[in-house]
Chain A
Amino acid sequence: KQEVTQIPAALSVPEGENLVLNCSFTDSAIYNLQWFRQDPGKGLTSLLLIQSSQREQTSGRLNASLDKSSGRSTLYIAASQPGDSATYLCVVLMDSSYKLIFGSGTRLLVRP
């Protein structure tokens, strides 16, 4: 059974810091991995999608990497801003069952 774990569970940093969010998964038979952000009481906004054959994706200040063989992904946020405060979710799409499996989330607070 696939388990997706995110570390840390919560993070508080001052504005301007670069930071790394970690995601690990136990079953490497994934089709892709997506990073989402969720603001309180809101839906999920897709940030980056990495296909299983890819190593990384970049969008603006965000960079996500994927090491499928070791079951790890990282989300790097450069020059963090208060507007980055949200919960970040790592979600894998299983190859066999075509089911999205969610990580436990990292709650990020960027202090002005």
Chain B
Amino acid sequence: GEEVAQTPKHLVRGEGQKAKLYCAPIKGHSYVFWYQQVLKNEFKFLISFQNENVFDETGMPKERFSAKCLPNSPCSLEIQATKLEDSAVYFCASSQSFTEAFFGQGTRLTVV
């Protein structure tokens, strides 16, 4: 497709429940990034992939967050045992190598 598709748009989870977010990158793009937007314009890097391989995971809280990009499937970001502080908008972006990054519309996660 010609746009980055993120699902769902909104997700509400009780504290301690699991949340799973999906991202379909633009066809032909080999890089995928996940960012967490909290408080106005603060974007926190989580993880990036080059095809199905983790490229950089320095931003991931590893004890509860995990992510995958498998061939012929949307990429996913999973949060086990969500906490109130996980409430944020999660953005996915894709790009070809060293070129323009395209962002999805985001998934708003609310933990109650």
Binding site for B on A (CB under 8 A): 31-32, 34, 36, 38, 42-44, 46, 49, 87, 89, 91, 93, 97-105
- Interface range on chain B: under 10, 10 to 19, 20 to 34, or 35 or more? 20 to 34
**4 A-B pairs closest in CB distance:** A105-B41, A43-B105, A44-B103, A102-B43
CA distance A49 to B99 in the complex (A): 8
Q: Are B45 and A99 in contact (CB under 8 A)?
A: yes
> Which chain B residues numbered 47 to 91 have a C-beta less than 8 Å away from chain A?
48, 55-56, 91
A42 in contact with B105 given A99-B45, A105-B41 (CB within 8 Å): yes
Q: Are A97 and B41 in contact (CB under 8 A)?
A: no
Q: What 17 new A-B contacts, CB under 8 Å, besides A38-B41, A102-B35?
A: A43-B91, A43-B105, A44-B91, A46-B100, A49-B99, A49-B100, A93-B98, A98-B98, A99-B48, A100-B33, A100-B35, A102-B42, A102-B43, A103-B41, A104-B41, A105-B40, A105-B41
- Residues of chain A lying within 8 A (CB to CB) of residue B105: 42-43
Q: Are A98 and B56 in contact (CB under 8 A)?
A: yes
10 A-B residue pairs with CB within 8 Å = A32-B99, A32-B100, A43-B103, A44-B93, A46-B102, A49-B100, A89-B41, A91-B101, A100-B43, A100-B45
Q: Chain A interface secondary structure, helix, strand, loop or mixed?
A: strand
Binding site for A on B (CB under 8 A): 31, 33, 35, 40-43, 45, 48, 55-56, 91, 93, 98-106
Q: Are B41 and A43 in contact (CB under 8 A)?
A: no
- Residues of chain B lying within 8 A (CB to CB) of residue A44: 91, 93, 103
Q: Which of A98, A101, A103, A105 has the most CB of B within 10 A?
A: A98
CB < 8 Å neighbour of B101 from A38, A87, A93, A97 = A93
CA distance A99 to B56 in the complex (A): 8
CB < 8 Å neighbour of A46 from B31, B45, B101 = B101
Q: Which of B33, B35, B40, B41 has the most CB of A within 10 A?
A: B41
- Residues of chain A lying within 8 A (CB to CB) of residue B48: 98-99
Which residue from chain B places its CB closest to the CB of A36 in the assembled complex? B103
